[in-house]
């Protein structure tokens, strides 16, 4: 984004959200603290093939609902005392406050693991081929479902898990180690939030180096792709309607990150209101996705983000 020297930092953040639907922090959060947290996480969890159930166990008791971290089953909660470098970071507090008000709330925080191909069982690779949202929670042992495990996920909005909720929250994402093109970096589509809330899987077609995005209700936008690579402590925030996704982890190690959902408080005014006033589509949906059935099983296949070179 172009920096306007006449703007405060908070005003710049709001302007970034209006124009692009995201803000990338100019400096990483404390990399030493990030590395210490990563070491602590890895000390209590082996991110290897032992995470997975056998094919027989999955077949005997298939569970596709309720397999993500939740209150009382969230590994990140064990490290409450190590999160101040994020939650009290001056630049993060200022940026988030400018969007959500000083009384913003943490809706959710968790560890996200991009699982490398090398540890995914062969039978599972066959089962999840071309699945739009490869959340592997259904296939890992119940006792390790305190982390979210992904093997790539197609372009989506974070509103996908919040039907009937207004887009009054944002996502904060932190890399705990360097992330390259091979480490399942986030792919964001600049300006995609401007069409508001749309149903997943989304209508996207590559057009040269850009994407054509259609809301299926008569509006379309040409949006640019940005790949979020970065060093330890890299941090970014984005709107609940900003399209983003990842390809499967092509590295020989897991990608460990933190994801926060931060919500507007009851303040009379907040920057997210002026952002949302510029959107050309709805701010909530009663149905956010069509790729899975009521029991959580996959009923649509195909993955657009995997077409990216």
Report how far residue 246's alpha carbon sits from residue 249's, in angstroms, rounded to the nearest whole number: 8
Say yes or no to pLDDT of 305 above 90: no
Report how far residue 173's alpha carbon sits from residue 175's, in angstroms, rounded to the nearest whole number: 7
* Model pLDDT, residue 82: 98
For the chain, the domains span 9-51+64-307
**Could you report the per-residue pLDDT of 145-172, keeping only the tens digit for each?**
999 999 999 999 999 999 999 999 999 9
* Model pLDDT, residue 54: 97
* Model pLDDT, residue 8: 96
**Could you report the per-residue pLDDT of 43-98, keeping only the tens digit for each?**
999 999 999 999 999 999 988 889 999 999 999 999 999 999 999 999 999 999 99
Say yes or no to pLDDT of 133 above 90: no
**Could you report the per-residue pLDDT of 253-301, keeping only the tens digit for each?**
999 999 999 999 888 889 999 999 999 999 999 999 998 888 888 888 8
Q: Which CATH number fits domain 9-51+64-307: 2.60.420.10, 2.60.120.620, 1.10.10.10, 3.90.78.10?
A: 2.60.120.620
* Model pLDDT, residue 231: 98
* Model pLDDT, residue 175: 98
**Could you report the per-residue pLDDT of 184-237, keeping only the tens digit for each?**
999 999 999 999 999 999 999 998 889 999 999 999 999 999 999 999 999 999
The partner residues of 237 in beta bridges, in order of sequence, read: 23, 172
Q: Is residue 272 within a helix (H) or strand (E), and if so which, with residue range?
A: helix 271-276
* Model pLDDT, residue 3: 54
* Model pLDDT, residue 309: 63
Say yes or no to pLDDT of 1 above 80: no
CA distances (Å), 216 to each of 111, 163, 202, 212, in order?
34, 18, 9, 12
Which residue, chain included where needed, has tokens 């005997």? Answer: 60
* Model pLDDT, residue 4: 65
CA distances (Å), 237 to each of 14, 18, 127, in order?
11, 13, 33
Report how far residue 60's alpha carbon sits from residue 88's, in angstroms, rounded to the nearest whole number: 45
Report how far residue 62's alpha carbon sits from residue 76's, in angstroms, rounded to the nearest whole number: 26
Six-digit token string for 114: 């991009």
């Amino acid at each position: 984004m172009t920096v306007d020297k006449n703007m405060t930092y908070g005003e710049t953040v709001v302007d970034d959200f209006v124009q692009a639907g995201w803000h990338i922090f100019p400096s990483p959060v404390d990399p030493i603290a990030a590395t210490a947290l990563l070491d602590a996480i890895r000390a209590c969890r082996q991110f290897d093939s032992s995470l997975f159930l056998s094919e027989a166990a999955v077949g005997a008791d298939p569970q596709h609902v309720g397999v993500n971290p939740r209150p009382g089953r969230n590994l990140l909660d064990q490290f409450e005392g190590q999160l101040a470098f994020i939650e009290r970071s001056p630049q993060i507090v200022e940026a988030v406050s400018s969007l959500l008000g000083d009384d913003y709330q943490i809706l959710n925080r968790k560890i996200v693991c991009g699982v490398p191909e090398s540890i995914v069982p062969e039978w599972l690779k066959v089962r999840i081929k071309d699945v739009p949202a490869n959340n592997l929670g259904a296939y890992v042992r119940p006792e390790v479902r305190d982390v979210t495990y992904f093997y790539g996920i197609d372009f989506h909005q974070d509103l996908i898990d919040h039907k009937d909720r207004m887009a009054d929250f944002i996502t904060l994402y932190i890399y705990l180690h360097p992330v390259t093109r091979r480490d399942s970096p986030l792919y964001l589509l600049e300006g995609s939030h401007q069409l508001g809330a749309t149903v997943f899987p989304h209508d996207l077609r590559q057009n040269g180096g850009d994407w054509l995005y259609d809301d299926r209700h008569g509006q379309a936008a040409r949006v640019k792709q940005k790949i979020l690579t970065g060093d330890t402590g890299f941090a970014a925030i984005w709107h609940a309607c900003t399209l983003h996704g990842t390809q499967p982890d092509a590295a020989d190690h897991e990608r460990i990150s933190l994801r926060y959902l931060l919500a507007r408080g009851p303040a009379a005014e907040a920057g997210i209101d002026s952002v949302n006033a510029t959107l050309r589509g709805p701010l909530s949906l009663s149905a956010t996705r069509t790729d899975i059935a009521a029991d959580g099983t996959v009923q649509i296949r195909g993955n657009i983000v995997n077409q990216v070179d």
